[in-house]
Amino acid sequence: MGNTPNVARRSESSRQAIFAAARELCAERGYGRLTIEAIASRAGVSKKTIYRWWPSKGAVILELLDEAATMKAHHPDTGDLAADLRTQLTAVIGMLAPPQTSALAGVIAEALHDPALAHDLRERLIEPRIAEFKNRMRQAQRQGQLSPDADLDVALDLLYGPLYHRLAFHLGMPDPAYLDTLIAHALRSLSMTQ
């Protein structure tokens, strides 16, 4: 009982209002000009409420991205590897679009100078998704859809690299036809013996 702050007491509606405000403000002004004060004001909560749950704006953004990824970017397993990769990569492309683009780019840039944020970025956002990807690829190896010798680190780099490279340099996200071309190239190169 008592008044100890407790994660279980978070009001889900406040939490979602904070995420929506942070996402919108990031898209409008950029991560660099985002402040906890502005998030609180737009979400209709106090700064104290935000600081009770998160240590920094980077932590708010990271949780928002983690939640979006958890809800939207699972790896299906229909038995057709190329089709399943298309489904999952299309979801990732959707997540990299505005209003999330600025949030992700900002948190990546800030993590270079904030070891705690970098740690959380790796532990919460990245490593679980890499593990999920590799599980799906191992399943494809068991099903005979991918060579047992395929290098799964190379697979990750060839399939996801293009999205972040294109995001960084404003080259535009792959359209469905080009995404299929990328997947076909990656899978072909992985299925050959060294």
Q: Which residues bind a copy of itself (CB under 8 A)?
A: 29-33, 101-102, 105-106, 108-113, 118, 121-122, 126, 151, 153-154, 156-158, 160-166, 168-171, 178, 181-182, 184-186, 188-190, 192, 194
CB of residue 136 to a copy of itself, shortest distance in Å: 18
CB of residue 71 to a copy of itself, shortest distance in Å: 20
Look up tokens 């929506």; give the residue.
20
CB–CB of 125/65 below 8 Å? yes
| Whole-number Å distance between alpha carbons of 62 and 73 | 15
Q: Which is nearer to a copy of itself, 48 or 188 (CB)?
A: 188
Contacts 24+ apart (CB under 8 A), 3-7: 5/52, 7/53
Q: Which is nearer to a copy of itself, 1 or 192 (CB)?
A: 192
Q: Which is nearer to a copy of itself, 29 or 72 (CB)?
A: 29
Handedness of CA 179, 168, 111, 153 (dihedral sign): positive
